[in-house]
Amino acid sequence: MKKVLSVLMLFVLILSLAGCFSTPKETAQIPSQETSAQSTIESSAEPDLPEIVVYDENGITITALRLETSFLGIDLIFRIENNTNVPITVQMRNSSINGYMIDSIMSCDVAVGKKALDDATFMTSYLEGIDVYTINDIEDVEFYLTILDSNTFRTICETDIIKLQLA
């Protein structure tokens, strides 16, 4: 009885895995009655952001490189250089876009003597709430950076407010 049950369970498992790897079938798409250009963050021509060094002290250099549209929202891309003798973690705090406080996602670890590219993500759901639908809708971004020792989580530095004017 145990062997039969084991074989039956194995058969069910194989069938369920086969469903995961099958090719998707075509499905009919029902056109929406209302199409809104503002329903998601659009990938329009992204304006050039000149490279701006936002922090350069004590062997740590942080440069804002560009804005990009991602599947989560809009990303502010940074290059972080760690020329100190401790590994660091850089986090964004208290960010605002166009004068509205908005949550951002950024926590970047950088080893001793290394560089990293990372982004601060502003989520689509938050941006739509403040009428930002494309990168071109962003006039200014303000934030603070907190730099931590990755080993001890001791705060190395909290920057003054950083303001990026885009319009």
Query: Domain extents for the chain?
Result: 52-165
Return the residue matching tokens 């319009």.
167
Mean pLDDT on 27-39: 37
Give domain 52-165's CATH architecture: Sandwich (2.60)
User: What is d(CA 61, CA 81) in angstroms, rounded to the nearest whole number?
Assistant: 5
Nearest alpha-carbon partner for 86 in 150, 162, 21: 150
Nearest residue to 64 via CA among 118, 104, 110, 100:
118
- Residue 73 CB burial class (10 angstroms; 0-12, 13-18, ≥19): buried
pLDDT at position 54 over 80? yes
Two structure tokens written together for 51: 């490279």
Beta bridge partners of 92: 145
pLDDT of residue 31: 39
% of the chain exceeding 70 in pLDDT: 71
Residue 25 has pLDDT above 90, yes or no: no
pTM equals 0.71
- Residue bearing the bigger pLDDT, 56 or 129: 56
Span 8-21, pLDDT tens digits: 565 556 656 555 54
Higher pLDDT, 62 or 134: 62
pLDDT value for 46: 52
CB atoms within 10 A of CB 113: 12
**Which residues does 108 contact at the CB level (< 8 Å), separation at least 6?**
78, 80, 89, 90, 91, 116, 118
The pLDDT score that the predictor gives to residue 44 is 46
User: Cβ distance 94 to 144 under 8 Å?
Assistant: yes
Return the pLDDT at 76. Answer: 95
Task: Calculate ∠ Cα 153-154-156, nearest 5°.
Answer: 120
Q: What is the pLDDT of residue 167?
A: 73
The model's pLDDT over 73-86, given as tens digits with 9 standing for 90+, comes to 999 999 999 999 99
More confident residue, 167 or 21: 167
Q: What is the pLDDT of residue 21?
A: 47
For residue range 106-154, list pLDDT tens digits in order. 999 999 999 999 999 999 988 998 999 888 999 999 999 999 999 999 9
